[in-house]
Amino acid sequence: MKSAIVVGSTGLVGKHLIHTLINSNTFDRVIALVRSPCFKDYKKIEEIVLDFNKEDPFEGLKKADHVFCCLGSTIRKAGSKKEFRFVDFDLPVLFAKWAEQNNCDTFSLVSSIGADSSSKIFYNKTKGEVEEEIRNRIFSKTQIFRPSLILGKRNEFRPGELLGKGIFTLLNPLMVSTLKKYKAIHARDIAQGMVGHLSKNQYGVKVVESDEIMTF
């Protein structure tokens, strides 16, 4: 049996990932890193409350076999570019550093379609830069998932995303061939794909585009 540790477990993808892990026969220990308790009704989950504003919030954690990073925000939600970068770059990099130092086997990151460190779009540039940092860490497996627009019910209201979901619902059937990776994808499918890809005999760094997430 294996152990898993998840940061970003209360977000849209993270919540689905937690449910996928606890319903899997592969994992007997699932650790959720949270700002405040929220999984107390789940017997299989061990919650660890962290102060993410500390210099190194992950210091002192015990290792797990598989490490999942589902951290992600928007500039609007974070309040500024600086705070957005803290959530989407600084924390994932610190988490990967901890995981490498503790010899965790795999590191799985939720990034985004269009991630590109040379992009002039701040969001895409930040996602590309965090991918590069994760690639430079040494794990048996490094899995970087690049979902398109993520479907599912969020706790917060994102008007731009809501509009995008409506448009993608209409366009999804038309996205075939080279356009398949731009199809909107449900958070549940991303979570299942993150766990499913662990079973593949692929080592080193693997970038999984949106249309490949469910191919395991």
CATH code of the domain covering residue 62: 3.40.50.720
Tens-place pLDDT, residues 15-54: 999 999 999 999 999 999 999 988 877 778 999 999 999 9
Per the domain annotation, does 93 fall within a domain? yes
**Please, what is the angle between helix 12-22 and helix 187-196, to 10°?**
50
Per the domain annotation, does 135 fall within a domain? yes
Q: Which of 123, 165, 180, 181 is catalytic?
A: 123
Per the domain annotation, does 179 fall within a domain? yes
The whole-model pTM stands at 0.88
Tens-place pLDDT, residues 117-155: 999 999 999 999 999 999 999 999 999 999 999 998 756
Domain that holds residue 57: 2-211
Q: Which of 15, 125, 127, 183 is catalytic?
A: 127
Partner residues linked to 145 by β-bridges: 110, 208
Catalytic residue check, 123: yes
Domains identified in the chain, total number = 1
Rg of the chain over CA atoms, in angstroms?
16
Per the domain annotation, does 216 fall within a domain? no
CB of 19 within 8 A of CB of 190? no
Catalytic residue check, 203: no
Does pLDDT of 197 surpass 80? yes
